[in-house]
Structure 1
Amino acid sequence: MDRLLQQVTELAVLPHVVFKVLELSGNEDYPTATMEQAITVDPGFSSRLLRVANSSYYALPRKVQSIREAITCLGFRAVRQLAMTVGVFDVFIGKNDADSLRRRAWWRHAVDTAVCCRWL
């Protein structure tokens, strides 16, 4: 599976999965299994979640190998942030028309502003 994930750089994410993750993550009373079921139907989001969980940013002591483990390690808030990022970012990728370029510039400005605000 690792070799397969390395060969595929990006998989499209289904929008309804992003909305479901946002809905579930807004209420931590939902069990992790419910969130896991919502995520596993989408290979694109699943692979991104595992990639993020195994990134050096989180520096976990061992490799995360399941969606449930990734949710548990990262928490609902981080999974929600990833869903929002993926949901918005997928709108801008791979398009080069004038509107898409303006949206990308707006997105970049928004990210830069958020980073500055967080730093302050």
Structure 2
Amino acid sequence: MTYHPDGQRSAAQQALHTVAEQGPDDEALHTLAESRVLLPDPDPVEEAAEPPRPQALSLPVVEQGDGTRLVPVFTSADRLEQVFPEIRHYNAVSLGDLARGWPSDGPSLVIDAGAPEEMALTAQGVRDLLATA
């Protein structure tokens, strides 16, 4: 489990723990929506001499053997590295902003895959639970 240097879970990790233990909780979902998460970036853009122009964020979609499509996000670099040790780059985004722009027919979202508090949401669940929190 990933802890802050002072031995405590991050606010996002504590919120995930609360939801995993007690089910949907308005305060925990609000904390998650305001938290920054890390999106793995397997193909980072090379740094250019001039600042890049703003562009749409590309979601790292993983397809499982059964055809299920999901986007993994992580509450810490340590948790990301546990699942994807080969990925060294990521994009930090607000989970609520990500949820508000989530496509209605999009993939599922998995927060902290492999952790005891892992949370998986369908595309509609992302929009319902996080975008409104």
Normalising by the residue count of structure 2, what TM-score does the alignment of the two structures yield? 0.27
Q: TM-score, normalised by structure 1?
A: 0.29
Structure holding more strand per residue = 2
